[in-house]
Structure 1
Amino acid sequence: MNGTALQVAVLAASSACTMPAAAQQPAATPAPDNAPFDVGQLFATTCGFCHSDGGRAPGRGPQLMDSPRDDDFMRNRIKNGKEGAMPTFGAAFSDAQIDEIIKYIRSLKPREG
C-alpha cells in the first residue's frame, strides 16, 4: 500500500468513528502484510481521535496503555469494533498489521516531561 492509499484508508477509518456502527461500511481488502505500516502515525491520525495521547490517555475511547485486556480481545475489537463505540477495522488492516497495532499498544509508556 503506497502512502496515498494508506492515507485514504486512514481517512475512511477515522471518519467511521463519527458514524453509528450500523452505518459503517467496511474498507476494501486489507493491505498486504509486507506493506509499509507506521503504527505511531496511525495512532496520530486515526486512533488518536478516540484514544488520546497515542493511546496513553482516555478520550472518547478508553486508555490503551496498561490495558488489562488480552491480545485476543484487542484483536477482536480492532477487527470487529463495538457497536456505537468503535468502528470495525478488519477490512482495513491485515492480521499482521493488527498484530503490529497490538504490539504498539503493549509497548506504550507514559511520556517523560
Structure 2
Amino acid sequence: MYSSTRFGGHDHQRLDRGSRGLHGATLAWPSAAWAACQGEKEWGTKASRFLKAESKRAGIGYRELAEQLNKQGMAETETSIAGKLAPGTFAACFFVATLAALEMEGVRLEDLSSISNI
C-alpha cells in the first residue's frame, strides 16, 4: 500500500509491507526520491523491453546471447539473463555488452522513449 504523508516538514511516500520482508516496518521516502525511483524503474523497463525486442529481431535467444556475452568475458547464463531482463534491473555494462553481442552499433534515446510501460 502506498500513501502520502508529511514527516519532518517534507512530503513522503509510505510503503507498508506488513509482516513480509520488513517485519511490519514502514518505509518513508521523500517525494523527490520516490519520483526518481519510479523514473528509474520506468527506464529499466523500457531498456529491458528494447533488449528483448532487439534479440528477438536478431533471432538470438537467451542461450545464444549468454554465449556471446561469455565470449566478451562476462559470466552470464540463460537463467541470469532472464533474471536481469524480467524486472529490468541490470547495470549499464550489461546493456552495452548486450548491444555489442547483438552487433548493434548503438541505440537512440528516442527508441527507448517510444516504448510504452503497459
Q: TM-score range by the shorter chain?
A: under 0.3
TM-score when scaled to structure 1? Answer: 0.28
Higher strand proportion, which one? Answer: 2
Q: Which has the higher contact order (CA 8 A, sep 6+)?
A: 1
State the structure with more CA Rg: 2
